[in-house]
Amino acid sequence: MAKNIAIAGVTGAVGQEFLSILEQRDFPFDSIKMLASSRSAGKKIQFKNKEYTIEEMTENSFNGVDIALFSAGGSQSKAFAKAVTDAGCVMVDNSSAFRMDPEVPLVIPEINPQAIADHKGIIANPNCSTIIGIVPVWPLHKANKVKRMIVSTYQAASGAGQAAMLELKDQARQVLDGKPVICNALGYQLAFNLYAHDSKIGPNGYNEEEMKMVNETRKIFDYQDIAITCTCVRVPVLRAHCESINLEFEDAITPEQVMELLSTAPGVSIIDDREANRFPMPIDASGEDDIIVGRIRQDESIPDNRGINLWVAGDQLRKGAALNAVQIAEKLL
């Protein structure tokens, strides 16, 4: 059934990806509103061979709208949540504003689509590193419970938005031209460099990005006993995140069993060619829907064959953000 939809934050990197994915997947809609801040209001935008005018997002923007895809930042999501739900519209929110609210489902359709039915007007999209990491872990966890998960992320500039992607390009030129490196969108020089994710550090020494992965995984898996530790790093890549994932299982499991489980898992594909030393890279995942998995090997430091190492790559703007939200909207249909 076609719906009236709105894109909140349409001018941003994820907002633009929303439009691309809606078109590619031929999402059925009767009408679509392009919403952004007052700075962008009045500008024109092309979508499906038609010109639309961007509107300033106000509390009246959601009257007559069925589904609003939000990627306008957490403060905007909080500011407009009541207006959205009062209008009878469902907010699918890409920010961190409501992820850990016990009243709000936190959904990855390949893992917990049943949670969508419990929504009270808001459905939260998980963090990009969480989605990319746990889509391939879930089918393994279903077959053999994961006791402990150690994750190191290698996160692209796209996670900090369109301005950060442009700044990475500019910084690369500045370094190569011997000019001073300018950091505005990014906390530090990212070109020819990497640094610990520059989200706020908590009293436990972990940053917000790391704790998101810990807390969100437990909520999505509905399994509080899983032990998780995470180190998040920003790397000079434009738009696809990679992650090194170490898993300890309750029972023995082999790389061959992992390969078999992942070969039929939704949203997952495999590049694992040991002879050619060919494994997932950001350029493999950029523009792709699937999370790509490789370097599937036994962790020989864990006794009784209960440990597995994985390497994954996923497009942060697609499955890590916009695609997951559109998949939720498709389930709402």
Domains and CATH numbers, the chain: 3-126+321-332 (3.40.50.720), 130-316 (3.30.360.10)
The mean pLDDT of the chain is 96
Banded pLDDT at 1 (limits 50, 70, 90): low
Q: Could you read off the pLDDT of 59-80 as tens digits, one per residue?
A: 999 999 999 999 999 999 999 9
The tens digit of pLDDT for each residue in 11-60 reads: 998 999 999 999 999 999 999 999 999 999 999 999 999 999 999 999 99
Tens digits of residue pLDDT in 108-126: 999 999 999 999 999 999 9
Q: What percent of the chain has pLDDT over 90?
A: 97
Give residue 103's pLDDT: 96
What is the per-residue pLDDT across 181-206, written as a single tens digit (0 to 9) for each?
999 999 999 999 999 998 999 999 99
Length of the chain, in residues: 333
Give dist(CA 106, CA 328) in Å, integer. 10
Known catalytic residues are 128, 241
- How does DSSP classify residue 180? P
Answer whether 118's CB lies under 8 Å from 199's CB: no
Secondary structure of residue 160 in the 3-state scheme: helix
Q: What are the tens digits of pLDDT across the range 140-151?
A: 999 999 999 999
| Beta pairing partners, 307 | 248
Mean pLDDT of 151-156: 98
Alpha-helix residue ranges (DSSP H) falling in the chain: 13-24, 74-86, 128-143, 162-176, 208-221, 255-263, 282-285, 323-332
- Partners of 217 in beta bridges: none
Q: What is the pLDDT of residues 257-274, one digit of tens each?
A: 999 999 999 999 999 999
pLDDT band for position 3 (cuts 50, 70, 90)? confident
Mean pLDDT of 313-333: 96
Q: 89 is written with which tokens?
A: 């519209």
**pLDDT, tens only, 267-310:** 999 999 999 999 999 999 999 999 999 999 999 999 999 999 99
40-49, 138-147, 220-229, 309-318: the lowest-pLDDT one: 40-49
C-alpha distances out from residue 17 to 9, 13, 23, 89, 158, Å: 11, 6, 10, 21, 12
Question: pTM of the entire structure?
Answer: 0.95
Q: What's residue 333's pLDDT? A: 87
Residue 256 tokens read as: 């061959």
Determine whether 48 is exposed, middle or buried from the number of CB atoms within 10 Å of its CB (0-12, 13-18, 19+).
Answer: exposed
